[in-house]
């Protein structure tokens, strides 16, 4: 149910109907390709002439192309329609505190070329380096027209000012990715929280969300992020600030978080938390705390756990327990049909998944209707999610009254 907003609405015209039908057809071709005009008419219930008119326009604008002739026992052979992947390139950027990855992709987010750079600690230096790398990607494929840049960031972007205003794991405040990159490249730039872009990845490219309206993307990395889709839309809150479950305190007396709060969920359930558990255990054994420089990485601990190292196993299981505590909170709050988990932790999901499931079962009365699925990290959900930030402008459902 959505109430009509009388201070911001658009009345319906014949153009409105055409626009809605055009979006429906474009999305249908994207998801069902190859598909014939006759099948589109059957599927949508639209008249053949309307379908022809709209598909002609989409062909003219190069959104779709006509492919091979279909095989029918008799009568005229239909021509199949495809999304024109080569119409434009999109640049996706995935920013993380240690490393930033970027790629030039086609319209279906298939990678054409990729690059990465260590993320410098100074945001201005970073933006200059990133702009150079983006221009290099474009120069390597000058034949591809570039539609725009999507940037996924480990922080919260104010939708009003477009600045990244809250990013405790980067330690940056009020960084204007959009303005800077638009000036440096001349392309349109969309910036969004990484967990939100992972939720979009699943909606646009994922295999698990067909027909779903309620799902959550849970990113577990240096911190913990949540991208919440409720009733088919990303929950954004005032100026896009909603969704910081990683910084909800689950223990007032807990450890100090980088956001300044104490006992935040991510201080218990992130890669960094796991490293802290492990170094504390090692410190206990050695009778001293391990110095910073010799701390193992989260990858090291995962590897050790697979080799049977008991302290590594316990650290990961402890993190999994707390991942379950917060996930149960999400399930009880939003009753999503699906939670997708993104991050390195999915590599040890055989160990982590059952713990998360069992804590959710114990703590949330709604847990049985929610599926929790680890996403294959080699599907690059964060990077391809950034690409979908650009893509969605052309494919998203139009909103009117
Ligand atoms: Zn926090």
Tens digits of per-residue pLDDT, 133-177? Answer: 999 999 999 999 999 999 999 999 999 999 999 999 999 999 999
Candidates 198, 146, 148, 153; CA nearest to 172 is: 153
261 CA to centre of ligand 1 in angstroms = 5
386 CA to centre of ligand 1 in angstroms = 24
187 CA to centre of ligand 1 in angstroms = 34
> Which DSSP state fits 393?
H
* CA 235 – CA 336 distance, rounded (Å): 13
282: confidence class by pLDDT, cuts 50, 70, 90: confident
Candidates 197, 116, 199; CA nearest to 153 is: 197
pLDDT for 293 equals 55
Please, which residues bridge with residue 101 across strands?
94, 116
Q: Spell out where 154-299 has E strands.
A: 156-157, 164-166, 189-193, 215-220, 224-230, 233-234
The string of pLDDT tens digits covering residues 348-388 is 999 999 999 999 999 999 899 999 999 999 999 999 999 99
pTM: 0.91
Residue bearing tokens 């959009």? 178
Topology (CATH level 3) of domain 87-200+383-395: Nucleotidyltransferase; domain 5 (3.30.420)
Alpha carbon of 359 to those of 297, 346, 356: distances in Å?
A: 26, 17, 5
Q: Using CB atoms within 10 A of its CB, is residue 374 exposed (0-12), middle (13-18) or buried (19+)?
A: buried
135 CA to centre of ligand 1 in angstroms = 35
246 CA to centre of ligand 1 in angstroms = 7
Residue 90: CB atoms within 10 A of its CB come to: 26
> Is pLDDT at 287 greater than 70 in this prediction?
no
299 CA to centre of ligand 1 in angstroms = 23
71: confidence class by pLDDT, cuts 50, 70, 90: low
The mean pLDDT of the chain is: 93
134 CA to centre of ligand 1 in angstroms = 32
Residue bearing tokens 């999304």? 83
366 CA to centre of ligand 1 in angstroms = 26
399: confidence class by pLDDT, cuts 50, 70, 90: confident
336 CA to centre of ligand 1 in angstroms = 24
265 CA to centre of ligand 1 in angstroms = 7
Helices (H) and strands (E) in the chain, counts: 12, 15
24 CA to centre of ligand 1 in angstroms = 41
Paired sense of beta strands 89-95 and 99-105, if any: antiparallel
Q: Are 317 and 304 in contact (CB under 8 A)?
A: no
Candidates 123, 188, 187; CA nearest to 153 is: 123
* CA 57 – CA 63 distance, rounded (Å): 9
Q: Using CB atoms within 10 A of its CB, is residue 214 exposed (0-12), middle (13-18) or buried (19+)?
A: middle
92 CA to centre of ligand 1 in angstroms = 27
155 CA to centre of ligand 1 in angstroms = 12
Candidates 190, 194, 188, 216; CA nearest to 203 is: 216
For residues 64-91, give the mean pLDDT.
83
The string of pLDDT tens digits covering residues 298-315 is 999 999 999 999 999 999
267 CA to centre of ligand 1 in angstroms = 7
297 CA to centre of ligand 1 in angstroms = 21
Q: In what order do the strands lie in the sheet with 89-95?
A: 111-118, 99-105, 89-95, 146-153, 189-193
pLDDT for 236 equals 94
271 CA to centre of ligand 1 in angstroms = 14
Alpha carbon of 330 to those of 145, 247, 309, 327: distances in Å?
A: 41, 13, 32, 5
256 CA to centre of ligand 1 in angstroms = 8
186 CA to centre of ligand 1 in angstroms = 36
374 CA to centre of ligand 1 in angstroms = 24
173 CA to centre of ligand 1 in angstroms = 15
pLDDT for 77 equals 76
Task: Count Cα atoms within 13 angstroms, Cβ side, for 212.
Answer: 26
**Greater pLDDT, 17 or 319:** 319
315 CA to centre of ligand 1 in angstroms = 20
290: confidence class by pLDDT, cuts 50, 70, 90: very low
> Is pLDDT at 267 greater than 70 in this prediction?
yes
222 CA to centre of ligand 1 in angstroms = 12
257 CA to centre of ligand 1 in angstroms = 5
pLDDT for 10 equals 85
Question: Considering the domain 14-84 in this protein, what is its CATH number?
Answer: 1.10.10.10
Any idea which of 4-8, 71-75, 99-103, 131-135 has the lowest mean pLDDT? 71-75
Structurally, at CATH architecture level, domain 211-379 sits in 2-Layer Sandwich (3.30)
247 CA to centre of ligand 1 in angstroms = 4
Residues of the chain with CATH 3.30.420.40: 87-200+383-395, 211-379
163 CA to centre of ligand 1 in angstroms = 20
pLDDT for 210 equals 87
Residues of the chain with CATH 1.10.10.10: 14-84
60 CA to centre of ligand 1 in angstroms = 50
> Is pLDDT at 70 greater than 80 in this prediction?
no
**Greater pLDDT, 173 or 283:** 173
Residue bearing tokens 């009778």? 287
252 CA to centre of ligand 1 in angstroms = 11
- Which helix (H) or strand (E) element contains residue 20? helix 14-32
Q: Spell out where 72-188 has E strands.
A: 79-83, 89-95, 99-105, 111-118, 146-153, 156-157, 164-166
320 CA to centre of ligand 1 in angstroms = 18
> Is pLDDT at 292 greater than 80 in this prediction?
no
């Amino acid at each position: 149910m959505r109430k009509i907003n009388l201070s911001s609405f658009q009345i319906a015209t014949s153009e409105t109907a055409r626009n809605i039908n055009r979006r429906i057809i474009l999305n249908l071709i994207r998801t069902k390709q190859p598909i014939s005009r006759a099948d589109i008419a059957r599927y949508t219930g639209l008249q053949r002439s309307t379908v022809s008119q709209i598909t002609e326009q989409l062909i003219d604008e190069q959104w779709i192309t006509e492919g091979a002739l279909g095989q029918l026992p008799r009568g005229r052979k239909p021509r199949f329609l495809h999304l024109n992947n080569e119409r434009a390139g999109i640049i996706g950027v995935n920013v993380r505190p240690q490393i930033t990855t970027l790629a030039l992709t086609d319209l279906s987010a298939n990678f054409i070329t990729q690059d990465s750079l260590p993320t410098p600690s100074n945001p201005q230096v970073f933006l200059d380096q990133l702009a150079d790398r983006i221009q290099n990607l474009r120069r390597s494929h000058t034949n591809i027209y570039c539609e725009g840049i999507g940037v996924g960031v480990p922080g919260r972007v104010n939708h009003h000012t477009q600045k990244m205003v809250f990013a405790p794991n980067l330690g940056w405040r009020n960084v204007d990715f959009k303005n800077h990159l638009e000036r440096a490249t001349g392309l349109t730039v969309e910036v969004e929280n990484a967990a939100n872009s992972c939720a979009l990845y699943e909606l646009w490219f994922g295999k698990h969300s067909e027909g779903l309206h309620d799902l959550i993307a849970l990113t577990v990395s240096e911190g913990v992020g949540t991208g919440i889709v409720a009733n088919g839309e990303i929950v954004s809150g005032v100026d896009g600030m909603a969704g910081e479950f990683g910084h909800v305190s689950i223990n007032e007396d807990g450890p100090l978080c980088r956001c300044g709060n104490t006992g935040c969920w991510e201080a218990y359930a992130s890669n960094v938390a796991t490293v802290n558990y492990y170094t504390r255990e090692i410190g206990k054994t050695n009778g001293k705390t391990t110095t910073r420089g010799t701390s193992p990485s989260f990858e090291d601990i995962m590897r050790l756990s697979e080799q049977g190292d008991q302290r590594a196993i316990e650290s990961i299981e402890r993190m999994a327990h707390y991942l379950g505590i917060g996930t149960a909170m999400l399930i009880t709050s939003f009753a999503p049909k699906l939670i997708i988990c993104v991050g390195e932790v999915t590599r040890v999901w055989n160990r982590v998944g059952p713990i998360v499931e069992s804590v959710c079962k114990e703590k949330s009365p709604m847990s049985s209707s929610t599926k929790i699925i680890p996403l294959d990290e080699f599907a690059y959900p964060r990077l391809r999610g950034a690409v979908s930030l650009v893509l969605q402008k052309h494919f998203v459902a139009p909103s009117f009254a």
